[in-house]
Amino acid sequence: MRLPWNKSKEVQLDLLDAEPGAAAAHQPVSPAPRADETSQNAAANSTAAAMSSGNDGRPLLLAVSLLYEDAHNPRTEFPEESIDELAEDIQQRGVLQPLVVHPADSDGRHKVHFGAKRLRAAIRAGLHEAPVVIRDLPADRYAQVAENQKRHGLTPLELARFILAQVDAGDSNATIARQLGMNLTAVAHHLSLLELPPALDDALKSGRCTSSRTLHELRSLHAHSPDRVQALLDSGAEITRAAVSAIRSAAD
């Protein structure tokens, strides 16, 4: 498949705003290998291209077999429908924004720092190569969250798991709040999502209620008035702030 930058002499790649040196990306990209080349040759050519390119921020093509996802990526949910939609778009237009990857490891493979969803969709679209930018920078998990939030926000549960992981790593709630642009109350509300009673956990995971504040308050009410909270859940009514206030008033 011919990628978009081969259609004209001008390269228009919109690199990640959060990454330094994005202006350096507006340079010609090495042409894709011929369609009749084998995957093995494509991988070898990609490795050679990466070695000759260096880590100067220029986009280049790498075989998808040389790319692997970051096991600590805060995004853990990849809905099939979303991947299919992106794969269909990639089939039509190619990968418009390069993945950001770390330098090759001892096996010649690159860990993806930004772009796990694009990688999955590119593979599903049948691409043998994908455009990447190699950045020799330490992993920044907060930057991964920020990048994901700009593209397609993390689910409340994904964000809650990330916050807990940072707490376990030694970050204070104040540090986490500052890094994520949240207030301390929001951090506490998200952490409470990891300790919901089963009925509320089902409401969260089904998407019926995704407000961390509302679920936090329902969790507190469930401890004192579980029957009233369960009645709301069983009723099929929308879980709103007004519904929560009604339960609180009845409990009082």
Greater pLDDT, 79 or 48: 79
Q: Can you tell me which residue has the tokens 């500052």?
A: 178
Q: What is the reported pLDDT for 3?
A: 44
Average pLDDT score over residue span 70-86: 83
Greater pLDDT, 153 or 113: 113
> What whole-number distance in Å separates Cα of residue 101 and Cα of residue 114?
7
3-state secondary structure 42-70: HHHHHHHHHHHHCCCCCCEEEEHHHEEEC
Q: What is the reported pLDDT for 238?
A: 78
Q: What is the reported pLDDT for 57?
A: 59
Reading across the β-sheet that carries 110-114, which strands appear in turn? Answer: 60-63, 129-134, 99-101, 110-114, 67-69
Kindly tell me the sign of the dihedral angle through the C-alpha atoms of 156, 159, 165, 170: negative
135 in Cβ contact with 102 (< 8 Å): yes
Q: Can you tell me which residue has the tokens 């509320």?
A: 200
Band of residue 28 on the pLDDT scale cut at 50, 70, 90: very low
pTM, full prediction? 0.47
- Mind listing the pLDDT tens digit for each residue in 86-96? 898 898 888 88
Residue 144 in this model has a pLDDT that exceeds 60? yes
Greater pLDDT, 25 or 148: 148
Tokens of 63: 């075989």
Q: What is the reported pLDDT for 93?
A: 84
Band of residue 150 on the pLDDT scale cut at 50, 70, 90: low
DSSP letter string over 210-248? --HHHHHHHHHHHHH-HHHHHHHHHHT----HHHHHHHH
Domains along the chain? 4-141 (3.90.1530.30), 154-251 (1.10.10.2830)
Instruction: Kindly give the pairing relationship between strand 129-134 and strand 99-101.
Output: parallel
Q: Can you tell me which residue has the tokens 């709301």?
A: 232
Tokens of 140: 């920044």
Average pLDDT score over residue span 127-136: 90
First-residue to last-residue Cα distance in the chain: 65
Tokens of 55: 């880590």
Helix (H, G, I), strand (E, B) or coil at 6: helix
- Mind listing the pLDDT tens digit for each residue in 34-53? 444 444 444 444 444 444 44
Share of the chain above pLDDT 90, in %: 23
Share of the chain above pLDDT 70, in %: 73
Q: Which residues of 74-100 are buried (b: 16+ CB within 10 A; e: fewer)?
A: bbeeeeeeebeebbeebeeebbebbbb
Asked which of 124-128, 185-189, 201-205 is least confident by mean pLDDT, the reply is 201-205
Alpha-carbon distances of 214 from 159, 189, 222, 243, rounded to whole Å: 16, 9, 12, 10
Mean pLDDT of all residues in the chain? 76
Greater pLDDT, 161 or 10: 161
Tokens of 206: 């089904």
131 in Cβ contact with 61 (< 8 Å): yes
Q: What is the reported pLDDT for 240?
A: 80
